[in-house]
Every structure is written in C-alpha cells, then in structure tokens.
Structure 1
Amino acid sequence: MAFAAAFPRFLADDVLVVASTMPPHRLAPAFPFPVRVAGEGVAIPERVYNDEPDAALTASFSARQQTVFHCLYSRHHDGRVRQRHVEQIVALAEPWVVPFVVRLVGEYVAEIQRVIWDGLVDIDIPGTAQHDVYGAFLAANPAFLQRTRQQVASYWDCYYRNRWPRKYYPGTVIVESLCDAARHSADRGGPAAVR
C-alpha cells in the first residue's frame, strides 16, 4: 500500500506488478513526503528497505513499470542503489517522476547530484519538456521546492563548504535551475512558485 500511495492512481496496476517482484522489506518504508502530481496528492517514501529483486523478475516489465521500479529504488537506503536507479529516470519528462529526482537534489550525496545535473540537460531552456514538466510540478509544490533549497544550503554548509564555493556546489546549481523553471511556470499562469 505504501508504494501505491507514491504514485498517481492511474499507475496502480503497474505499481502492483513492480511491488510483487520486490523482496520483503527489512524495515517499513520510512517517513513519506507528500507532494501533488498533476493535482493528485501522493506520499513518497523517504527510504525503502527492500533488497533489489533478481533481474530475471524485472526483465518482463513494460517501459512504464521499469520507470516505476527505478523511481522506487531511487528512494533506497543505500546511496549506490539510489544513484544507479536515478540514472535511469533523470532525463524523463514525466510529472510523476519529477519528485523522485528532485528529492535527491536535497540529499547529501554530491555524486548523485552530479548525475542529476548531467541528466537535466534541458532544465534551463524554456519550452523544452524537461523545463516545462519540472517547472509546473515545482510551481505546484512550492513548500517542497523551498525545503529542497534549504536542505541543499544546509548540506553544502555541513559537508562541502571546503570543497566548492556555494555557487558551484552541484546542489546549488540544480536548485537554482529548478527555481527558475518554477518561476517561469508561475509567470505563464501556473501556481505560485518560490520567489
């Protein structure tokens, strides 16, 4: 049930197929974060503790089921697993994928932020699918964007201030692009965005 709540209702059958292949969890999914996707409330687990299923079990997944699978495992408790899975979804311009990617921007793993930075190739170009989908989602979820922005600043201060000037920290670069996309969406008549 926790996994079904992480996606819009139209994906329920796909989520069920994916969840049926997942080994039992060692701990229940942790602290879901709420966001709105295309007007529908979802609650995405902060962390999942299921081991990855055998590749033979996932080989028959449809493209959409593969994406659901990668979204769920982008919330895995192991950072290497999160990175492998976000690599598969970061370039997709699907509204229901966006919160899984953005949440990783606000985490402390700079290597994952680099994957996201490299994957969001069109985020700064108005009119592209990436810019429009990310902008619309974030304009509709300003508290989520603001929280992500604050987490980026906090993790930079805590772990990376001696490695990068703040403006060159991957999380800062990404979150500023996300804020610009949200502002652009709001200026075009979307919901209010972070200013």
Structure 2
Amino acid sequence: MFQDGFPNYLREDVAIVVGMISYNNVAIDVSPDTIQYIQEQNVVRFPYRIYAIDSSDEIMDNLSLRQKMILHCIYSRSCDGFVRQKHVYALLQMDYEDWAIPYIVKVCDEYIVEIVEMTYDILKEQDTERIKRFCLENRVSFCKSYNRMISYWNEFYRYTYKNFHNYIGRKLFRECFGYTRSMERST
C-alpha cells in the first residue's frame, strides 16, 4: 500500500518503516482513496489518509535519515491534523529528496491553515524550483489542488482573510509552488 508512493530503489527502506509502524500499532489502516501524481515519468500513488497512532518518537532513533524522511511522508497522510503538521514540519527541516515533494504539496491543499502557514513560512526563504517543476509536471492535479485550497478558504477562512489575494494559501501556491493562471488554461 505504501510502496507505490516511493521510488523502487526505496522498497526495502519503505518496508522497514512500515513494519516498525505496524508493529507498534498492530496495523495501519488506510482510506480507499488514493492520491496520484507523475514524477520523473513514474506514477506515484499513496493513500489519501492513514489511520495509525503516531508512534514515531518511539522508533525514530532506529531509522536512517532516509527512513525518517519516508516516515514523515507516510505520517503526512495521517487522519490527525496535528500529526500531519508535526511530520510535514520535520520533513521541511530536512534536506528532503525529490520523492518527498508530492507529500508536501498534497498536504497544502487541505483545510488546516496552520499547516499552510507553516509551510509558507519555511519555503518562502528557500529555492523552490524543484517543487515548481513537480507542480508543472502535474499541472492538472496541481490546478485542482489550487482550486481545492480556494474552496477551503471560502468555506473556513474567508472572514479571517477577507481579501483572497492576502490569503496565505494563495501566496504559497503562487510564490513557492509556481501557480499561474496560464496553467489553468493549458490543462
């Protein structure tokens, strides 16, 4: 269930991480919905949500740096927003590899503005060309993510951020992820 979310050369590392998570939680349950992207001409697919207690603090010392990155990606799909935020923050603090980018982008089209704010605060100071390339490669999905982010602003944050042009999600998608209106027209 998680192997398709990472490059083939990480199969053993993914199995180790999932095994450690599963051992502590008995089992990891996942939603039937999946997220799918293309990355470097390969399909990347991972569960929309996972249902597992965050036991990462107990196993972190037993993982390599790459395995920790995998763990943060997996937990970025948690059903618990606080867990998602914790792991996306940890991922953004690392020198993350390109295969982690889909997990970072996906969590930013969701309804928890604190994750969007945190991500923007970190990425606005970084070179995000790798993320922009990924978003351009997945133009159709990325434009849907942009529209989804707008719908959450409209539903939950319209009164806090009265002017959409000042909304942090818009800034993140435009400045850090490379969204432009022309992307919509060419999909």
Name the TM-score, length of structure 1 as normaliser. 0.83
Contact 2:76/2:85 (CA < 8 Å) preserved in 1?
yes
Deviation of residue 101 (structure 1)? 0.9
Deviation of residue 177 (structure 1)? 1.8
Farther off after superposition, 15-24 or 26-35: 26-35
Which protein has the bigger helix share? Answer: 2
Structure 2: which 5+ runs fail to align? none
Give the distance between the partners of 1:88 and 1:161, measured in 2 at CA: 29
Give the distance between the partners of 2:177 and 2:117, measured in 1 at CA: 18
Give the distance between the partners of 1:58 and 1:69, measured in 2 at CA: 9
What's 1:177 paired with?
Answer: 175
Question: Runs of 4 or more off by more than 6 Å in structure 1?
Answer: none
Change in 2 beyond 3 A, CA 1:54/1:112: closer
What's 1:134 paired with?
Answer: 131
Name the TM-score, length of structure 2 as normaliser. 0.87
What's 1:28 paired with?
Answer: 30
Contact 2:124/2:176 (CA < 8 Å) preserved in 1?
no
SS of 2:50's partner is coil
Q: Deviations over 1:92-149 (max 9, x none)?
A: 45221111111111101011111111121345xxxx3xx2210111111101210111
Deviation of residue 31 (structure 1)? 0.9
Give the distance between the partners of 2:175 and 2:46, measured in 1 at CA: 23
Number of aligned positions between the proteins: 179
Give the distance between the partners of 1:86 and 1:57, measured in 2 at CA: 17
What's 1:13 paired with?
Answer: 12
Give the distance between the partners of 1:169 and 1:9, measured in 2 at CA: 38
Contact 1:27/1:49 (CA < 8 Å) preserved in 2?
yes
Q: Deviations over 1:55-102 (max 9, x none)?
A: 333312000000000010011000000010000112545221111111
Contact 1:25/1:51 (CA < 8 Å) preserved in 2?
no
Give the distance between the partners of 2:177 and 2:184, measured in 1 at CA: 6
Cα root mean square deviation, aligned: 2.1
- Select which of 115, 118, 122 maps to 1:115: 118
Contact 2:89/2:118 (CA < 8 Å) preserved in 1?
yes
